[in-house]
């Protein structure tokens, strides 16, 4: 059974484990198992490395389970490591549900515990465990000035801003952890005319940012929203600095004229980095967070004003009353039925999205008359490892990597927009490609270590050895690399007219490759908003009391999102939504 967690910032989690709140345990076993008392250890492969379980047995019960996994992603895999041991002890079996959004780490925890049990001579399959029943559902009302629905980057940004404005804020999230799709972001945040660009002598402008975004999105985006995105970006970078989340490393992303994508100093994945800091800030500000709590319906008064939301956890029916409400529930890239409804050719594609990105908020908003915009615009990302659905960050190409087909030849400008690169890959034999990089690039971009630990990287001491492992003619791949390195030195790619991400060649052994193909990545469409993040109705008017930010909205990215603009979107419009909601709650 899924754990219900009601977490208030600033309060310690007892014993470091989020226990299941269950009552009425009833023995479900026909007989009591017989164990050899002792402490046993087992290991399994997690998302980022080894997960180790230590299991203490008495002669008849699983007494305790302790799990460690230092390399599991913070706020995702770490939730499974914290939560599942308590569930296993409570249930006296490893036949328990995985934590939604952390399936790989959950399986690793279960497999590690099973390995420990087997080392004790116990067959995990024979542990039927205990059946449980929940207490009767209760009703609870929570009153706040601002209610934020969705605990991803946009929702957390909005909650922080509203709280800093002096408001009483609550945040609800349907998943067992905060972060949403923001946790899966690996690239960075686009921003123009920032202090970091100036320090690094990068010549960029707000107008170029606007032009790149409009062009990259097929010139169908709402220019007023794009203008706010670009104009507010440098200030947003400064705000991140102020809360302890600097993004000083500046690189290229596809579709950007200049080096604009801002990243953590060590090149680590921007998503888990920001989510951890946002979550820390929520605790610091004492903002109540309700996890495993799904919003179901907006509360609307007789005048058409949104005054809160109905929600439910495993045991409680909630009424969250608010003077203003922020919708930040994300897109629908994990809802195959929904994205295939709008783009049938995408049925069967892997998705890079968090399991929580199912479009719930869009459906809720549409029910109360919200207008939708660009809803059929769905982006596929060109560099997705198909077995794990791990997205290889655009920063790899931005730092100089190339794409080759199964024959070992480049076939397109790697730094074009995602839609064009994806289409070029699909046109290749067997519709896949390899991303090729060297040791120098690996050393400069920490995010690559995650790919290595997940066993999706092939390594060769020489480019010829790498080609052999990939089944490519070694002389062809070697010639491709020689031609590319010459183009970098000449600062001229005569083959495909690439002009960015050419600061250094690929000449430091060993060499690496990741096999990739397109996957569903971002849904550009959603509820319509204005520049103050007010949700707009089908009649063209703001819906009183309702604001929105992040991937739940449409109009900002057009028909294709440029890499780095999603993080800009969640931070910038999250802050705008929080500030607008705060003003509305104060009666302004």
Residue finishing a domain among 110, 133, 156:
133
Query: CB of 462 within 8 A of CB of 432?
Result: no
Residue 193: per-residue pLDDT: 98
Q: Residue 494: which domain range?
A: 380-519
Cα separation, 161 vs 153, whole angstroms: 12
Q: Which residue has the higher pLDDT, 208 or 394?
A: 208
pLDDT at 357 over 70: yes
Which sign, positive or negative, has the C-alpha torsion 82, 14, 271, 576?
Answer: positive
- The band of 23, judged by pLDDT with boundaries at 50, 70 and 90, is very low
- The band of 25, judged by pLDDT with boundaries at 50, 70 and 90, is very low
pLDDT at 94 over 80: yes
Which positions ≥6 away from 501 have C-beta within 8 Å? 251, 252, 397, 398, 399, 400, 401, 414, 415
Q: How far is CA 500 from CA 185, 252, 258, in A?
A: 22, 7, 8
Whole-model pTM: value is 0.80
Domain presence at residue 310: yes
pLDDT at 30 over 70: no
Residue 481 CB-half CA count within 13 A: 25
Domain CATH for 251: 3.50.50.60
356 & 323 share domain: yes
pLDDT at 33 over 80: no
Domain CATH for 46: 3.90.1010.20
Q: Which of 15-19, 83-87, 346-350, 517-521 bottoms out in mean pLDDT, i.e. has the lowest?
A: 15-19
Cα separation, 361 vs 379, whole angstroms: 19
Q: Which of 115-129, 519-533, 566-580 bottoms out in mean pLDDT, i.e. has the lowest?
A: 115-129
Beta partners for residue 519, in sequence order? 381
Residue 74: per-residue pLDDT: 63
Catalytic residue among 418, 442, 498, 561: 418
Domain presence at residue 53: yes
393 & 417 share domain: yes
294 & 182 share domain: yes
Residue 63 CB-half CA count within 13 A: 13
279 & 189 share domain: yes
Residue 528: per-residue pLDDT: 98
509 & 572 share domain: no
Neighbours of 431 (CB within 10 A): 13
Beta partners for residue 144, in sequence order? 322
Q: Which residue has the higher pLDDT, 77 or 75?
A: 77
Q: What is the rounded average pLDDT for all residues in the chain?
A: 91
Q: Which of 3-17, 66-80, 98-112, 570-584 bottoms out in mean pLDDT, i.e. has the lowest?
A: 3-17
Residue finishing a domain among 79, 105, 133:
133
Average pLDDT over residues 261-265: 96
pLDDT at 359 over 90: yes
Q: Which of 381, 395, 380, 516 is nearest to 456 (CA)?
A: 516
68 & 158 share domain: no
110 & 219 share domain: no
pLDDT at 31 over 70: no
Which sign, positive or negative, has the C-alpha torsion 8, 12, 14, 18?
Answer: positive
Cα separation, 465 vs 122, whole angstroms: 45
- The band of 101, judged by pLDDT with boundaries at 50, 70 and 90, is low
196 & 343 share domain: yes
Domain presence at residue 3: no
- The band of 79, judged by pLDDT with boundaries at 50, 70 and 90, is confident
Average pLDDT over residues 289-313: 97
Cα separation, 553 vs 534, whole angstroms: 10
Helix (H, G, I), strand (E, B) or coil at 38: strand
Helix axes 153-164, 270-284, angle to 10 degrees: 30
Residue 2: per-residue pLDDT: 34
Residue 560: per-residue pLDDT: 94
Q: What is the pLDDT of residues 460-503, one digit of tens each?
A: 999 999 999 999 999 999 999 999 999 999 999 999 999 999 99
Q: Which residue has the higher pLDDT, 339 or 14?
A: 339
Q: What is the pLDDT of residues 129-138, one digit of tens each?
A: 876 655 688 9
Residue 78: per-residue pLDDT: 78
Residue 132: per-residue pLDDT: 60
Number of residues that make up the chain: 588
Write the DSSP assignment of 41-107 as a string of letters: EEEEE-SSSEEEEEEEE-SSSEEEEEEE-TTSPTTTHHHHHHHHHHHHHHHTSS--PPPTT-HHHHH
Domain presence at residue 2: no
pLDDT at 240 over 60: yes
573: part of which helix (H) or strand (E)?
helix 565-585
78 & 94 share domain: yes
Cα separation, 289 vs 102, whole angstroms: 19
Residue finishing a domain among 133, 151, 182:
133
284: which DSSP letter? H
Average pLDDT over residues 8-19: 36
158 & 296 share domain: yes
119 & 171 share domain: no
| Domains: count for the chain | 3
In the chain, the percentage of residues whose pLDDT exceeds 90 is 81
Residue 133: per-residue pLDDT: 58
Cα separation, 5 vs 292, whole angstroms: 6
Cα separation, 391 vs 404, whole angstroms: 17
Beta partners for residue 297, in sequence order? 310
2 given a catalytic annotation = no
470 & 544 share domain: no
Residue 103: per-residue pLDDT: 78
Query: CB of 384 within 8 A of CB of 418?
Result: no
Residue 69: per-residue pLDDT: 86
Domain presence at residue 314: yes
Phi, psi angles (nearest 5°) of residue 417: -65, 160
pLDDT at 12 over 80: no
Residue 134: per-residue pLDDT: 56
Q: Which of 429, 425, 424 is nearest to 407 (CA)?
A: 429
pLDDT at 20 over 60: no
């Amino acid at each position: 059974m899924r754990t219900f967690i009601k977490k208030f910032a600033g309060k310690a989690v007892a014993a470091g484990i989020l226990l299941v709140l269950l009552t009425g345990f009833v023995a479900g076993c026909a007989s009591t198992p017989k164990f050899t008392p002792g402490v046993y250890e087992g290991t399994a492969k997690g998302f980022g490395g080894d997960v180790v379980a230590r299991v203490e047995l008495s002669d008849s019960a699983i007494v305790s389970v302790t799990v460690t996994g230092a390399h599991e992603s913070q706020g995702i895999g770490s939730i499974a490591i914290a939560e599942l041991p308590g569930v296993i002890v409570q249930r006296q079996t490893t036949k328990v549900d995985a934590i939604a959004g952390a399936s790989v780490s959950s399986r690793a925890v279960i497999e590690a515990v099973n390995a420990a049990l087997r080392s004790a001579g116990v067959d995990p399959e024979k542990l039927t465990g205990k059946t449980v029943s929940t207490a009767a559902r209760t009703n609870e009302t929570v009153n706040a000035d601002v209610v934020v629905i969705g605990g991803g980057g946009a929702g957390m940004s909005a909650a922080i801003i509203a709280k800093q404005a002096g408001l009483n804020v609550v945040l609800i999230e349907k998943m067992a952890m905060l972060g949403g799709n923001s946790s899966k972001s690996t690239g960075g945040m686009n921003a123009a005319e920032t202090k970091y660009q100036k320090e690094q002598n990068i010549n960029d402008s707000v107008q170029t940012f606007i032009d790149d975004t409009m062009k990259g999105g097929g010139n169908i985006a709402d220019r007023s929203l794009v203008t706010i995105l670009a104009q507010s970006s440098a200030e947003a970078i400064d705000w991140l600095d102020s809360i302890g989340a600097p993004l000083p490393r500046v690189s290229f992303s596809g579709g950007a004229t200049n080096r604009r994508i801002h990243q953590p100093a060590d090149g680590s994945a921007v998503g888990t980095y920001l989510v951890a800091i946002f979550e820390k800030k929520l605790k610091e500000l004492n903002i109540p967070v309700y996890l495993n709590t799904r919003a179901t319906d907006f509360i609307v008064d007789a005048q058409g004003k949104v005054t809160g939301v109905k929600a439910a956890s495993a045991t409680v029916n909630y009424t969250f009353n608010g003077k203003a409400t922020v919708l930040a529930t994300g897109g629908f890239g994990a809802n195959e039925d929904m994205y295939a409804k709008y783009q049938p050719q995408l049925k069967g594609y892997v998705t890079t999205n968090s399991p929580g990105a199912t479009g719930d908020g869009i459906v809720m908003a549409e029910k109360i008359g919200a207008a939708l915009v660009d809803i059929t615009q769905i982006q596929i990302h060109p560099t997705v490892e198909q077995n794990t659905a791990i997205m290889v960050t655009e920063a790899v190409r931005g730092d100089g990597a190339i794409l080759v087909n199964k024959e070992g030849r480049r076939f397109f400008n790697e730094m074009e927009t995602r839609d064009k690169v994806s289409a070029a890959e699909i046109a290749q034999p067997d519709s896949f490609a390899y991303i090729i990089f060297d040791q120098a690039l690996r050393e400069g971009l920490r995010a690559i270590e995650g790919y290595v630990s997940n066993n999706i990287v092939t390594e060769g001491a020489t480019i010829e050895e790498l080609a052999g492992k990939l089944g490519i003619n070694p002389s062809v791949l070697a010639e491709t690399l020689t031609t590319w390195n010459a183009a970098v030195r000449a600062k001229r790619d005569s083959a495909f007219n690439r002009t960015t991400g050419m600061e250094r060649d690929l000449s430091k052994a060993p060499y690496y490759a990741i096999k990739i193909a397109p996957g569903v990545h971002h849904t550009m469409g959603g509820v319509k908003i204005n520049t103050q993040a007010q949700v707009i109705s089908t009649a063209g008017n703001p819906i009183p009391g309702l604001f929105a930010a992040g991937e739940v909205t449409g109009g900002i990215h057009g028909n294709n999102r440029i890499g780095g603009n999603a993080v800009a979107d969640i931070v910038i419009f999250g802050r705008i939504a929080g500030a607008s909601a705060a003003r509305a709650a104060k009666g302004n």
